[in-house]
Every structure is written in structure tokens, then in C-alpha cells.
Structure 1
Amino acid sequence: MTVKLDFEECLKDSPRFRAEIEVVQNDVSELETRLDKLVKQCQAMLEAGRAYCQSSKSFVNGLRELGHHCSGDKMMEVKGMCLCHLFLKTKLQTFVKEDVRRFKDVRKEFERSSECLEGAQGRNAQAPRGKQHEVEEASNALLNARKAFRSEALDYVLEINVIEAKKKTDILMAILSLMEAQAQFFQQGHQSLSELDEYRRKLNEEHTQFVLNSAREKRDMEQRHAAIKKKDVSYDDSIMDFNADAANGIAMEGYLYKRASNAFKTWSRRWFSIQKNQLVYQKKFKDQPTVVVEDLRLCTVKPSAENERRFCFEVVSPSKCCLLQADSERQQQAWISAVQNSIASAFQERREDPHSPRQRCSSMSASNLAAGGGGGGADQEKEGCKALEEVQAIPGNKQCCDCGEPGPDWASINLGITLCIVCSGIHRSLGVHFSKVRSLTLDSWEPELIKLMCELGNTVINRIYEARIDEITIKKPHPSSPRGDKESWIRSKYVEKKFIQKLPETGRNPLLRRSSARRNRATTQDRTVQRPPLKPKPNRATLPRVTGKHWRQECVNPVLPSDEDEEEEDLSGLHPGALLYRSAALQNFPVMADALAHGADVNWVNVAEDSSTPLIQAVTANALAACEFLLQNSANVNQADSNGRGPLHHATILGHTGLVCLFLKRGADYNARDKSQKDPITIAVDAANADIVTLLRIAKMNKEMREMDGAFGQPGDETYQDIFRDFSHMASNNPEKLKRRSADPKT
């Protein structure tokens, strides 16, 4: 039995049911319109038929009159002709428009020449006998007029004879053509009707069967309708059961109230559904679904008891927080369970995906155990997975840096902290100039970025950005705090920086003078020998909390270089830019973070030391993580010093292969020339550093390949990416492997 509308869908009262109702109503309205139009067309056809019959009678009368007109000529007699609509009028039109018109034109010429002749005869008769010249003129005019008249008269007689002859042939030919067309028309009509005999019989049989089927369907539908009506037709929550394997891809659907994010906080009832690992809603069935959560793996769901309305729950993603309301507590729990199950299903699908990072780690570990080891690529994957766990194991990183929620799986890579999903969404809304958010579980992590995350942590950053939290009455939010409270706290903490320690009044002079030992060491930048590190960097766990003075007074001075000829320097009161400059060379990440928190320009220039920048200082110390930290905080990778040398030049001169790899990945210009007109490739060739030469040339070749491919080219060659990935892993995990020099200076 064909069912136009389903009773269960009727009970749901879903947008799909409303749309089907609308389709049926439109069909009925269109049928009514078409039938009404057909009736009007039929009426018009009947009226046209009457007019046609009247016109046919007039036409036949016209033929009779034509026959009476030509009664003297037996060939033209037409008797009792009853003809219909297919009269070939073109023949008669040609006769009327061409022959008759030409006859009229010749007649006009004949009448004009006749008038001219009559005038010439009159003038000739009136010419006086005594005026010989007038007599001659009148005689000549008469002669010419008579000649023209006789010529036109001959033409006129010819045209009369021609039209009389054509009158017989053309009219008779038109009538014969008309009769032939009529005969052929009726013959074709008879043949067509004969061919439809079988079709008419089939239509009659189908009509009989349709009548029987319609009666049967009507009886069955009435019985089913009566049976369902006896049941309780109140809303049944079982209709909302979660089904992850639904044929239409919709795991859950139903009505929910949604609170708007505008200032009025209005509530609207919308049809929500979970499909393709997304939470979407729509007002009407034909509307394009609006996506609330693009990827359910990036969200969490929890009941909301802070609202005055009942049965509310929140769906929280990194970009937004959506407050929803169900019709009952049972529906609320059903939706919460459905979202949780969808999240679990999405993660399960990702784990089963062989290309996912977690699956690669697990499969790699299993293969290593089975084979008793593995290649370098497998070791790198294993170290990468271990490093992710290491980030979460940093002191303070087991709780969200801003609200304390346990198990955070998001991070701010330029701040070096871990965040929960709610706080990560707020950080993302601040903009990348304040916080760059990345997932610890879903995004891919470069080894130098993991190394940077392990150098900082929530404890270190909170000692900077919450240094005066005890002096301020603002209360730090907790995991169950409303999103608005968390957002207000985060903006006050990172944007307005209300809780950081105020700078001392000293140190207003941003200039740094180079000491004698530092000047002597500066000349080594032009040689190929690598500079030794200045001093071991401080332990982040020893960062103190000091009352009454800024904590960096105890953190900076103990790690200063202590050469015999180095003059004493007190860095505790330095300008933030100068402090960032010094701490970058010392690889002191807490002090670098503190300097940036106090507004240090990440591209600050020290005029006293060849206009060097903090990034160049980090290069001289071969501080890979420090360079990554500065780059993540918007350091200019191409800013050059007074000698025209940028960070890539210095890394090439000092033979820091890992830093060269990092700068090339961050967009460093390998064609830039210093004041001696040397680019990094020339410097690397002169230094016989095969690794750096390889990196620079591969980067150049990869860029040229992309430019040749045009706008639709690939983002990079796979070989290029693999080589740079290997160098990044070595620079972060096995830097001693990069301390190689070619034995042949011509390499």
C-alpha cells in the first residue's frame, strides 16, 4: 500500500512532516488551479468552436459567391463545398498582393497618359494660325503624348489579359490545394484515432484497477487510523532514541529551545539533529541546516542549573557555548547521552583511521614490539607521542591554567599553557596576537613546539600573569563557573594584564652597552666556529614567589655570564625590550615570558650591539626553543642587524642546522644578502656545511616548484617535507647529530 504521509511522523510533528504536509497542500492547490484552468480552456474552446463554425459558414458562403461570380466559366463553378480550417491562403494572397497590385499600377499609368493626351489635344486645337512657333510646339507635344498614351494603353491591355488568365488558374489551384489538404488532414486524423484503439483499451483497464486499489487503500487507511486513535497519542520520548547507525545518517533529532547569543538572550524553538559528527538545527525542513558544532570531538556537554529555565544543558566548543533546553528531564538526559555517545563514536572513528596520530602511534608501538625495534621514522613517531604526554606532565599542566579544570587537552602555544575546552574557546576569541590555540590530541605538533611547551607550563605563566592575585579582590573562576565569569577573568589576565607585577621605576634607559668581553666574542660571528652557550638556563621549577620586589631580580642575575673581564651588570630593572634581549641569549624562558607580559617589543633593536634583536641573540646561543618562543610571539624572522644579516644568516654562519631548518619553515628569505653581498647559501658553501647547503637548496627548489605549479599547486613536495621533518626531530631530540662538518671544503 502506498502511504503518502506516515502516522509516526505525524506524531513527531517534525519539520519533515510539516514539509510533506505543505507538499500535499501545494499538490492539491495546483491540481485545483490546473482543473479550473482546464475548464476555462474548455469553455474558450467551445466558444472558439462556435466562432469557427460561424466562420466556416461565412467561408462557404464566400466560396458560393465566388462560384456565382464565375458562373459563366464552367471551369470556375464551385458547388456545395463544405470546407474546414486548413485553407491554403498563400496562393490567393500572392494573387491579390502582386498581380492585382501590378494591374492597379499599370491602370494608374494608363489614366495619367490619357489625361496628358487630352491636354495636348486641347492645346493643339487652341494654337493661333498666325504664330508659327506655338503651332509647332503644340504639334510636337501632341505627337509625344499620343505616343506615350498608346504605349501605356498597350501595357494596360496586356495586364488585363494576364490577370484574366491568372484569375482562372491561381484561384482554381488554391481551391484544389485546399481540398487536397482537407482530405489529407481527415485521413491522418482517422489513422491516428485507429492507432489509439489499443491505448484506449489499456487506459480503460487501468482505470478499473485504480478504482479497486483506491477503495482497498481507503479501507485499510481508515482501519489503521481507527486503531492508532484508540492508543495514547501524547508525545512519546521513545521516538528520540539515539541511533548512531541510522540509514539517513541522523543519529538523533527533535525539538529544543535555543538561547540566542545576542544582548536580548531570546529563546527560539528549533529542530535539532546530530548528523555527520555535527550538531545542527533548522527552522524549516527546506532551510539549510545551521551548524552549532562542526566537530563533536571538539566539544563537551553538561547540564546547566544556573538558568531559571528547567531542563537546560550546555554544549561547549572552543569557539562558542550553546545553551539548549529540552521539554522534559527525560529528553534532557537523552540529548546529553546522545551528544556524549556521538563524541565517543567520533573518537572511535578517528582511532580506527590509520592516518590519525593516535593510531599511528599505537600501530608503530605494536610493530616495534613485534620486530624488536624500528627505523628512525618509527623512533620519531614514538618520541613525538611521548612528548605530547610530557607536555601534560609539566607541573601545573594537569589542570587548566585559567579555571583549574582537570585533564585539559588544549594549549596556547605562544603562552606555553594548557587549557580546558571552554577556556580555549575564550582564548581563541582574543585573537592570535594574544593567544594561539591548538589541540593537544587532534592537531599535529612539531618537535620544536613540543620542546617549547615543555620549557614553560601553567605554574610559570601563572606566577607572571597572577603575581598580584592576592592583592586584588577579583576571584579566580573554578571549573563550574559560568562562561561569562571565565571570559571576564581571561581578558583581565591576558589583555588588560591587571594581575602582573608592576615594573620598578628604574631602568628607563632602553640602551644596552656592550662589555669588553662581549665585544671580543662578537667577532666570532664572522667565523665558522660555533659559540659556546653562555650559561645553563635556570630550572623553571625554581621560579620563586617574592613579596615586595619583582621575582625576576632573583631569577636573572644568578645566570649571568661570569667572565673575568666581564663588567658587572644589574638586569633587574631593565627596560622590557632590553630584558627580553638579554634573557633570549640566556635561554631564560620565565624572564622572556615576563618581559613579553610587560609589553616588550619582540623585535626590539639593541643599537649598541649592531642593531641585534632578541631572535638573533637566541640564535647566537643556539637556543632552538627560545627561537620558537619568539617566533610564536610574532618575531620577524627576516629582520636584519646593521650588517644586513638576519637570523638565517647568523644561524648559517654559526652552523646551527636545526635553527636553519626552523627559520626556513617559518618563511625566512634564503636570498637575502648582507652588506658583503653574501646570501645564506653562499655562506654555507664557504663554510662547507653540507647539511645547511642541502636545506637551503631544497627550500629554494621547493619554492620554485610551487611557483611553476601556479595558484593551484601543492603546498609542498613530500620529499621536502620529510627532509625538514627529519631535521626538526634531530634538532629537538638529537642535536649532536647535526654537529657535522664536511671534510672536503669544496663540498
Structure 2
Amino acid sequence: MIDTGKAFCVANKQFVNGIRDLAQYSSRDAVVETSLTKFSESLQEMINFHTILFDQTQRSIKAQLQTFVKEDLRKFKDAKKQFEKVSEEKENALVKNAQVQRNKQHEVEEATNILTATRKCFRHIALDYVLQINVLQSKRRSEILKSMLSFMYAHLAFFHQGYDLFSELGPYMKDLGAQLDRLVVDAAKEKRDMEQKHSTIQQKDFSTDDTKLEYNVDAANGIVMEGYLFKRASNAFKTWNRRWFSIQNNQLVYQKKFKDNPTVVVEDLRLCTVKHCEDVERRFCFEVVSPTKSCMLQADSEKLRQAWIKAVQTSIATAYREKGDEAEKLDKKSSPSTGSLESGNESKEKLLKGESALQRVQCIPGNASCCDCGLPDPRWASINLGITLCIECSGIHRSLGVHFSKVRSLTLDSWEPELLKLMCELGNDVMNRVYEAKIEKMGVKKPQPGQRQEKEAYIKAKYVERKFVDKDSASSLPPEEGKKALCHGREEKGLITSKPGLEDQVGTSGKSLGVDPFVKSNDSGIQQCADEAREGLSSVVSANSLYEPEGERRDSSVFLEFKHLHPGLQLYRASYEKKLPDMAEALAHGADVNWANPDENRSTPLIQAVLGGSLVTCEFLLQNGANVNQKDAKGQGPLHHATVLGHTGQVCLFLKRGANQHASDEEGNDPLSIAVEAANADIVTLLRLARMNEEMRESEGLYGQPGDETYQDIFRDFSQMASNNPEKLNRFQQDSQKF
């Protein structure tokens, strides 16, 4: 009985665990979850009471009766054996005594003595046996009754505890019964409503009606929108497959079957855009584009396409609020998941994340509060403007479009080293001196935190319309007049003198680049101006200099104040001089980031940034829309110039930003051939890795994918080294091993 009772408790415990699991699965139904949890707790108490009952039964009946049987009953059995033995001996003595002949007096006396001794022993043993019988009878009565009485008291306590437990549970059960009655009524009403809807649907004409899907960004289950879409495969056949898509947790995912694990299409909706696609044969198509890939989707109708596009756009706009709630969770999990997968690889991770990026950026003057409303401790940034923002202002910036502001989180996103260095070069104070230069004169007050509509109007006026930029400081002279003014300014400073033979001194370096870093024109005056400017500099950029420390920047006295130049020329000159604030001011004045200087081989600001040797300047131009593949008059793009100069960090940056390494200049040289000829091992390695990765992705049909982990790790290492330890990459070409 005890063993069976214990088995019952084990099975009952498994049953209660099942009820607990059912309560967890019903977490969305408060009534079911609460009731099942309460009932499972009560049943667990009953299991505890049962366990106590069987423990007491073990002690009261099994232990006591086993002692009685093993000790007292054993003594009785021993006494019985002795009594039976002596009884047999007495019988034998009587038989022997009766068989002795009368004439054998000696045998008669011997038999008589044996019989007398045997009878005496028999009487003693018989008395002991009777004693043991009496003792056993007495103990049997007391031990059995005592054990049973203890057993019954254990049952009394068990049922009393159960009664008290369920007496307390009774009122709750009564209330639950009343709720169930109401639930039955509601279920019946819902059934009638559904039957009416079914009847209405059956009568409806579906020939022209489309299925309607609605999106809800505040849905309790986190799913903003879900439904079937056709997805074009990324393989060579471009097949279309119907999949179940959903927007949840700021991600776009799909499933092939209901029970399959979701496949993530877009990991972070904040970094993607969505647009109509009319250049395919199929109807109702739209495209979701992320920095690493694009996904072509097809809805069942035009209405559904519009609904999906609007759902994605709305999810992008609200992604900041959703991500803000996850920040605390990520902080608690400092060594994660997402898979995870990371604690062992942290030493290899070269991207700067989380609080380190936040702390470094907030140390810049003015960055401790939002650039637009002044709210303290901003956690977001505009990477092309170089400013920090609060979560509300970041959402408004996101709505402006990436051509005005590119928003990124300082705590949730990964930060490449060159991008973090760019943020530290600018800052709220610098940018506000440009974009809020006339705010006091105009009598405009900055919006306060919480004023959403005022913020939207202010931010649009500040960055889109640029109403507060001091446009009077920008010259209205065209580029040609600006260059003449530049030469005139040099004459006033005594920089232009007649120096014959100067071309022999510095021209070789310029020609080795395939482009003259200064003005080159048929106009002899401008040519002389350029020659004198060369003399004003100590030398052109070193061919093996990757990154020039800020404290060793060149003397800019050879140039006029950039504010007196045309905005395009101002950006052009400031890019060479590594003056990010002046570059930002030129862009605010309307400078074309891809402006080509017709008098310097159509060189662009990005090419000038390469010649200036600054990785951060190149990153700033790229973040503001500079074309990484725009060539000069000699067919050389930024990647060509960076390769010629041996700027490994810039080569790495341009390859990451999509530079075309197959492009050839007018002499038919591509960057790889230039690097091989110069015996620059690092650049050859980067170019060949990028080419190999590109060929691998094309062969596997992985268009838009970033590449394998090894390729990404190597480029992260070079980016980290170029930004933080440039001296490790500052190698002379003659010391590199030729390939």
C-alpha cells in the first residue's frame, strides 16, 4: 500500500506539472492562467499532505509491526522450539522407563533418574513457553492497537488539512463558477455573431473584392501585420514562392510552414526602405531594400501591396520606440544570445557597440543633450550630420529621409571605428553653429522636450529648408570667380612669387597620382597660382601615409578662408585640408558633394579627401552621398588614388562602401594592377579578397549579401587598425613582398 501510494504521488505530481504548463501556455488569458495556477498550487499541497500521510504510515505501522515480528515473535518461536524439544525428550524417557525389566535393578534406577531429570526440565521450559505466550499475546494487543491508532490519527490530520485547504478555496471556486456561466453565455453570443458573419460572407460577391489586411503597431502579440506574399528567390532561376510573412519585433520574417522556425529577411527595419517595383513582369510587386540585400515581394492585389508598404513604413517610424524597450534587456545580458553565439568571439569583434560608443560620443562638447530640443542623455545619433538626438527627435529625423539624416542608435547598433571617429570629430556645438547661425537674429526659440508638432516644424526648417543657416557667409561667386579670388588672396599674402623649376620639385609626385592635386588649367594665371600653392605646402601627401594625426594637420594659410569661396569649391578645398566643420558648412550652403573641379582634371571632394590622407573625411563625404565610383578626367576614381598613395585604410573603406575595383583608368590600369606593381601587400590582399568574395557571391547567387565571416573579419581588422593604430599599416612599398 505504501509503495503504491508513493507511485500515486509521483504520477499526481506529473499531472500537476502538466496543469502548470497549461497555465503558462494560457498566459494571454488571465482567467484561465490565474485559475489553473491556483488549482495547481492547491493540488500540490494535497500531494504534500499525501506524502506526509505515507511517511507516518511507514513509521506507525510498518516500522512498529516489523519490530514486533522481528524481535518479540522471534523470542516466542525460540521458546516454542525448546518446549517441543524437551517434550520429545520426556516422551523418550517415559518410553525407556517403561521398557526396563524388573530384574535389572541397575537399569531401573538409571531410567528412573533420567525420567525425573527430564520431567524437571520440562516443567521449567513449559513455564518459559507459557510466559512467552502471555507476553506475546499482551504485546500483540497493544502494538497492533497502538499502530492502528497512530495510522488513523494520520488519516484524521490528512483529511483535516485537505478540508481546511479546500474550504479556503471554496469562495474562489464559487466565483469562478459564476464567471463560467457568463463565459458560456458570451460564447453562445459569439457563435451566433460568427454564424451571421458567415451567412453575410456567403452572400457576398468576391469577384471584385480583395481580402483586407490591417496593421497594428501596438499589437499585444508584437505582430504588426501578417499574411501570404510571393517571394522571389535569390537563385539564378528567380523562382517565386508563396510564403507566410509577418512584421514583428522590428523584423520582416517569413515561414514556409506553420511550425517552421521563421526566416529573417530584414533584421532591423530601421536600416531598410520599401518601394514600389514596376520594372518586373508580375503585378503588385514591391521591394524591401536593406544595406546588405534586397527582397522582391508580390502581394495578391494592389490594395494589399499598399497595405504592406504602409505597414513597413509605419514599423520603421515606430522602430525606435520598440528598440528602446529592448535596451534594458540588452544591458542585463551583457554577454548574450542572439545566440547568443558571442561570448567566445568577443575578442574578435571589432565593432564598437553599446555604452562604449555612447560614452565616447557624449564626451564631445554639446553632445550630452539633444541637438534639437536639449533633452539630456540622448541615445540616438545622425551619422551624416554628426549630432546626438533624443528618441523623439530621432524619429522625426528618420521621417526626413536618409538624404537629409541617417539615424542610428548609440546603444543598440554596431559602430564601425571610422564612423565612431567621425562622430567624435563633429558634435552638436559644431553643427549648431552652422545650422542655427541666425536663430537668435530671427528670434526663433528652440522647441522644448515633449512638443512634438513644434519639433517637427523646427527640424524641417533647420535641416530641410535650412532657414537658420547664415547664407550671407557663403559667397555667391561661381567656382571660376572663386578660384580667381583665391589666387588674389594668395597674392595679398605674398604667396605667389616667380619660382622657376618648381614643377620639377613637386610635379613628379602629382603625376605619379595620375592627377594634379592642385589647379591645372590653360589659364597661366591660375596655373601660376597652383604652382605657388604647391610651394606653400611642404610637400604633397606622402605615398605611404595612411592617416595623419589631427595635431599634425597642414598649415592652411595657403588657402583663403573657405567661407569666401563658392560652396562647391569650399567643400573641395576643405576636404583636402581635413576641415570637417568647413565641409559641413559648405554642405549646409548647398554644395554638391560630387562637384567636379573642371580645372583640376574634374577631381571631386572625395578624391581630394584621399589626397589629404584622412579616413574620417572620406567617411563624412560618403555618409553625405558622395559617389565612391566617380572618376576624374583621367578615369581614376577614389579607389585608384587611394591605391596609388598606399592608403590601406581608405582602400578598405571604399571597398566596404561598394567601390568598383574592376574600373580601369585611361591607361587601362585597375586598382589591383596598380597595387601589384607598387608591391603593396596589404592593399593587394584587400583587393583580391574583395574580388574573391564578389565572385563567390555571384556563383552562389547571393547578390546583396555581405560575404562570409572570414572576409568580414579581415575587413573589420583592417578598419579597426586604420582608425586606431594607423602606424601598423604605414608600410613602405619597397618593404612589401611582391605578389
**TM-score, length-scaled by structure 1:** 0.49
Of the two, which has the highest radius of gyration? 1
Normalized against structure 2, the TM-score is what? 0.50
Q: Which has the higher contact order (CA 8 A, sep 6+)?
A: 2
